[in-house]
Structure 1
Amino acid sequence: MSATTPSASARDTVADRTSATPPSTPRLPEPTGRQPVGTTSLHMKDLSRPDPWVPTAKARELMVSLWYPAKTRDGRRVQYLTPKESELILQGSLGTPSDVLSRTRTHAIGDAEPAGGRHKLPLVVLSPGFTWPRSSLSALAEDLASWGYAVVGIDHTYETFATTFPDGRVTTCAACELEDVEDFGRKAEESRAVDVSFVLDQLLGAHPKWIGSRLLDPSRIAIAGSSLGGASSSEVMLRDPRVRAGINMDGHMFAPLPPGGLSRPFLFLGQQSFHSPGSAADTTWDDNWPLLTGWKRWLVVAGSVHASFTDYDLLAEQIGADLGSDLTGLRSVEITRRYVRAFFDLNLRGVAQPLLDRPSARYPEVRFCSPPATTCQ
């Protein structure tokens, strides 16, 4: 959760403003698509490299979650976080440990049988913000899966306040102790790009880690991320040609695009107060915009905060934390879901999306920016 803008090396923290009587059962909004949603978690180990943040760990271990269309709505809904994860995340972000987020009501059925034909499911990678777990993008992931996408969310180990492994180990944010190191942000982006390519190899290789891998379409892969995960999206695309399109949700870009630019489709989606063209708060979108040479859009959302593009604007509201957003949590989820899906429907499915061509009366908070003009319409 964050009440701050994504500065060059600041972790994603929130203001310590909570009510005395938060609700006991936070909940994610229902997915808007017709298909049931399943989910499963996988443990992956990259033996080819040591961990970038803890060099004594001779292999890079990752936990990932998959959300996907399922054959049934019956079964156990997956837990959002464990009580320990909730305590560590709220201690790190709010300064108040609590297991309340472990009670968050989700909609995906754990280990449900996946539905779909061979190579029919487009695949979307989701990369969360620094210190945030993969579950922070669950509302978006569940919604995409309900519309027929497979979604893989990655915990970038030692960059989160808490990641739990199958043997019971809980890793914390070792990278948080290194934020002041020169080029920290660039190193983090590059490391995440390697993480993403490794996960794609594990899902699409000769011996895939997931039972539903045969359903994935290797020719239709895209990525979206929030904060550091969003900033890493372009780095992933530069390094891995399998990834056809990308979205940066409110992420400061530490590693600039190369002079040759990036020709595949790309979307900026962020805070109006922080990411409007010419803003003194962050010039990295301005700097990299001319180097995006393919289809592109730059959208800002009036009244949003850094957490508005994740579950945390919604969940913070439900547990009594004030992040300063002028949007309701439900509205921030609705806007994020709708524009992200429109981008993927256009660029992975080839379905025209007028929503991405002009401002919408249904979503008046969303403004279209066209640099060098500094006023967004």
Structure 2
Amino acid sequence: MLRTTAVVTAALLIAGGGVAQAADTVRLPAPTGPHRVGVTTLHLVDRDRLDPWPDAVGRNRELMATVFYPAHDVRSYPVAPQMTPGAAEKFAWLDVNHAHPELPKSGVDWAATRTHSHIGAPALPVRRPVLLYSPGAADPRTVNTALAEDLASRGYVVVSFDHPGETSEVEFPGGRVRIIALPADPRTNPDVFRAMIDTRLADTGFVLDRLEVLARGGNPDADGKALPKHLGRALDLRRIGMYGHSAGGTTAAEGMYEDRRIDAAVNLEGYLDHGTAQPGQPGELLPIARNGVDRPLLLLGTDGYRDARYDSSWAAMLAHGGRTTHREVTDATHWVFTDFAAMAPQFQAAGLMTEADRVKLVGAIAPTRSVPLVRGIVGSFFDRHLRR
């Protein structure tokens, strides 16, 4: 992923916490579970709902989802890239220059990083718990690939989906790329934040509806693409969890509150209120924070990401007691829950990122600690509540 002659000596977090040899490409940390991982994408079109954002007026809402799953056999099935070429091109423009200015401005081929998942490999025909993943505002689903792969290797089917119109870029079949088109900044406009969360919640329910079609033996892909063998037989929709980062964490928590199909949720540092016109100031609490919830919820944060809005909405949620728990990753900040936890140290070692920018993005925590820690906390939470 790095176009540079610098020798990359960063720890790449291979299973067991080892340190990778020097390399000239950025690598995602390998999954640690016993299963090899298969992957496919789904193009989903909601014929009963119009898209709410100004670049898609009058068009049906459409999503892209990536499904990671325990594979039966991966031989002869190619390894998937982290990003498609079209998405990578827009990511290099939008995310690097706007959403994440800490990232290298040059020297990076965002299309070059490979995953550990094999495209179209047949699934193990054993019913598995299903996990949904919702990314942070502006972030594409692809920047939380490593955690999804690890959960799939541990025996989950993970369905990661974008929220087009408020995601930096989403590539659809045929090479069509849709970029972010929010009418205002949701951090300073509570009406836009509310519309964004409402849209995300509707997206979540729609994805679950389409997974029910898949589990019954149907094909939910809008283009009728051939799906991996046994994929539908791998879904156990009696056991569903959801996790998300930032606004995706908000979505996971409130999604569980509103949809009884979701049995457990992990909020990776997402607000639980609607905010105000003043960034970081508390606003109206979401229903889950006002009323509590009767299913397991994990609030997983960092010690480097704090404001009044975060503190007050999480305190309100925790005040209900019950089945809500709180954990914290120290020496870390907001994007330690994404693939940047492993990437940023490699950029720094290659001379493409300063130490200050690395710390601002993911914290000072070493990737050999952060990646296994986050994987362990999230994986053990779902093991405890969905393995039955």
Contact kept, 8 Å, 1:186 with 1:254, in 2: the verdict is: no
Aligned equivalent of 1:182: 190
Q: After superposition, what is the alpha-carbon deviation per residue over 1:266-322, rounded to whole angstroms, capped at 9, x for unaligned? A: 0011111335xx96864221122223x532210111111111011112112223333
Partner of 2:157: 150
Residue of 294, 308, 313 corresponding to 1:284: 313
Query: Is 1:344 aligned to residue 344 of structure 2?
Result: no
What is the aligned partner in structure 2 of residue 215 from structure 1? Answer: 234
Assess if the C-alpha contact under 8 Å between 1:87 and 1:97 holds in 2: no
Residues 67-82 of structure 1 aligned to structure 2 (within 5 Å): 67-74=68-75, 75-82=77-84
Equivalent pair of 1:91/1:97 in contact (CA under 8 Å): no
* Corresponding position: 1:260 with 2:291: yes
Q: Structure 1 residues 230, 98: CA separation in 2 closer, same or farther (over 3 Å shift)?
A: farther
- Distance in 2 (alpha carbons) for counterparts of 1:214 and 1:176: 41
Deviation at 1:116, TM superposition (A): 2.9
Q: How does 1:131-150 map to 2 (within 5 A)?
A: 131-150=138-157
Which of residues 250, 255, 273 is equivalent to 1:231?
250
CA drift of 1:253 comes to 2.1
**C-alpha separation between the residues in 2 aligned to 1:97 and 1:235?**
38
Instruction: Tell me: CA distance 1:52–1:330, structure 2 relative to 1, closer, same or farther (3 Å).
Output: farther
- Cα pair 1:91 1:98 within 8 Å, conserved: no
Distance 1:224-1:176 versus aligned 2 partners, 3 A rule: farther
* Number of the residue aligned with 2:44: 44
Query: Whole-Å Cα distance in 1 between the matches of residues 93 and 273 of structure 2?
Result: 27
Q: Which runs of 5+ in 2 are unaligned?
A: 9-23, 98-104, 221-226, 275-284
Instruction: Quote the offset at 1:138 in angstroms.
Output: 0.8
Name the CA shift for 1:50/1:279 in 2 (closer, same or farther; >3 Å). Answer: closer
2:317 alignment partner, SS class: helix
Note if contact 2:70-2:155 (Cα within 8 Å) is conserved in structure 1: yes
Give the TM-score normalised by structure 2.
0.78
Residue 57 of structure 1 deviates from its aligned partner by: 4.2
Equivalence for 1:251: 270
| Structure 1 residue matching 2:341: 3-state secondary structure | helix
3-state SS in 1 of match to 2:358: coil
Number of the residue aligned with 1:169: 176
1:91 to partner: Cα distance: 2.6
Distance 1:281 1:235, change over 3 A: closer
Structure 1 contact 268–297 (Cα < 8 Å) conserved:
yes
1:248-268 alpha-carbon deviations (Å, 9 max, x no partner): 001122343434321110001
User: Secondary structure of the equivalent of 2:374?
Assistant: helix
Q: Which moved more, 1:281-290 or 1:184-193?
A: 281-290
Q: 2:183–2:192: 8 Å Cα contact kept in structure 1? A: no
SS of equivalent to 1:238: helix
Root-mean-square deviation (CA), in Å? 2.3
Q: Could you say which residue in structure 1 is the equivalent of 2:277?
A: none
- For 2:11, the equivalent position in structure 1 comes to none
Q: Distance in 1 between matches of 2:85 and 2:106?
A: 10
SS of the counterpart of 2:299? strand
* Alignment-derived partner of residue 357 in structure 1: none
Would you say the 8 A contact 1:86–1:98 is kept in 2? no
Please name the residue that 2:208 is paired with: 200
Conserved 8 A contact 1:221-1:244: yes
Q: What do residues 22-73 of structure 1 show as CA deviations (whole Å, max 9, x unaligned)?
A: 8542111111011110000010000111112135142001000000000123
Q: Does 2:129 correspond to 1:109?
A: no
Between the aligned residues of both structures, percent identity stands at 35
CA contact (8 A) 2:358 2:364 kept: no
In the alignment, the residues of structure 1 paired with residue 301 and residue 236 of structure 2 have an alpha-carbon distance, to the nearest angstrom, of 29
TM superposition shift of 1:191: 1.1
TM-superposed deviation, 1:97? 6.3
Shift of 1:181: 3.5
Q: Distance in 1 between matches of 2:367 and 2:86?
A: 24
